[in-house]
Amino acid sequence: MSNENKSIHEFDFNLICEYYSNLERQGPGSPEVTVKALSFIDNLTDESRIADIGCGTGGQTMVLAQNAPGEITGIDLFPAFIDLFKTNAPESLSARVCPQASVSFGFFWNVLAV
């Protein structure tokens, strides 16, 4: 193995997808923590547009959808995660690969911010 510094562009991100795609959540927390954090947010309505940044396969996004009003969209960098999201999520939830997210949102959610 070489000791040279390698660029992030040389990393095989498929390894991340393969490892995490079989987990219900790709980040920390739990459904209970998500609901608790959501309880501190005021003024969400049926017209709210919420983006779950780094949604992974959508585990937390689905918890948000069950407990928050408005339109919720999962956004992730990895197409493989988005494919699993679309397979597992109800039709009312949408998901996009990050560069394709050209929609405006009123609220951004990320589990790592909790």
CATH code: domain of residue 80 = 3.40.50.150
Q: Can you tell me the distance from the alpha carbon of 114 to that of 101, in angstroms, rounded to the nearest whole number? A: 23
pLDDT at 2 over 70: no
User: What mean pLDDT value characterizes the chain?
Assistant: 80
Alpha-carbon torsion angle 46, 49, 54, 55, nearest 10: 30
pLDDT in tens, 28-68: 788 898 899 999 999 999 999 888 888 888 888 999 999 99
- Residue 76 in any domain: the answer is yes
Q: Can you tell me the distance from the alpha carbon of 62 to that of 72, in angstroms, rounded to the nearest whole number? A: 9
Among 15-19, 63-67, 74-78, name the one with the lowest average pLDDT: 15-19
- Residue 23 in any domain: the answer is no
pLDDT in tens, 61-73: 999 999 999 988 8
Q: How confident is the model at residue 100 (pLDDT cuts 50, 70, 90)?
A: low
35 CB-near residues (< 8 Å, 6+ apart): 63, 67
* Total domains, the chain: 1
Domain that holds residue 48: 32-113
- Residue 51 in any domain: the answer is yes
Amino acid identity at 15: L
- Residue 55 in any domain: the answer is yes
Token duo for residue 20: 């995490």
- Residue 62 in any domain: the answer is yes
Among 3-12, 18-27, 50-59, 82-91, name the one with the lowest average pLDDT: 3-12
Q: How confident is the model at residue 27 (pLDDT cuts 50, 70, 90)?
A: confident
pTM of the model: 0.73
- Residue 27 in any domain: the answer is no
- Residue 83 in any domain: the answer is yes
- Residue 16 in any domain: the answer is no
